[in-house]
Amino acid sequence: MPSSHRPARIAALIGGLVTFAVVVLPAAPAWAHNELTSSAPADGARLATAPGQVVLTFTQRLDQRYTQIVVTDGHRAPMPAQPPTVSGTSAILDLDGDLPDGGYTVAYRVVSPDGHPVQGALRFSVGTATAATAPSPSAASAGQSRSGLPIAALIAGAALAVAGGWAFWRHRARTR
């Protein structure tokens, strides 16, 4: 390759990288969905005594208006509880009264700051009973990106970067 083409190729590469950075990186936070990071009781926990509340903690702030939590028993009957309250990234559900021994499911639905709903479920049991049958949180939220950037967005960004670099290189080649 003649050395006169090397600066044009370097310029094309830099142009492609700049295009990728300008197009894809600013949009990254919009693709990051909220995600459950911890719960009390923990998923699969076997408790000797019934909890007085359920606390779910997420990666992003919650909105009180769009936060739902329901605890059901092994027969899918909802347990009496106050409406959930929100404190930053945590949702708290105060249960009314003691839960009898048995298996329970905690189902939740919240909305990410970017407007996407996130839902899931976890199980716990009280006494010697086994946890109620429910989908795992990962199964309930299947199809949602855990990395924050969907593969399609990365591919689109790379294609834009290559196209931008190619266009820049062609323009520079024609102006010489």
Q: What is the pLDDT of residues 51-106, one digit of tens each?
A: 999 999 999 999 999 999 999 999 999 999 999 999 999 999 999 989 999 999 99
Confidence check: pLDDT of 6 > 90: no
- What is the predicted pLDDT for the residue at 39? 98
More confident residue, 157 or 49: 49
Task: Give residues with Cβ within 8 angstroms of 167, minimum separation 6.
Answer: 15
33-140 classified as CATH 2.40.50.140? no
pLDDT tens digits, 123-146: 999 998 665 544 444 434 434 333
- What is the predicted pLDDT for the residue at 128? 82
- What is the predicted pLDDT for the residue at 142? 39
pTM metric for this prediction: 0.60
Three-state secondary structure string covering the chain: CCCCCHHHHHHHHHHHHHHHHHHCHHHHHHHCCCCEEEEECCCCEEECCCCCEEEEEECCCCCHHHCEEEEEECCCCECCECCCEEECCEEEEEECCCCCCEEEEEEEEEECCCCCEEEEEEEEEECCCCCCCCCCHHHHCCCCCCCCCCHHHHHHHHHHHHHHHHHHHHHHHHCC
- What is the predicted pLDDT for the residue at 75? 94
- What is the predicted pLDDT for the residue at 114? 85
Confidence tier at 149 by pLDDT (50, 70, 90):
very low
More confident residue, 5 or 91: 91
* Mean pLDDT taken over the chain: 77
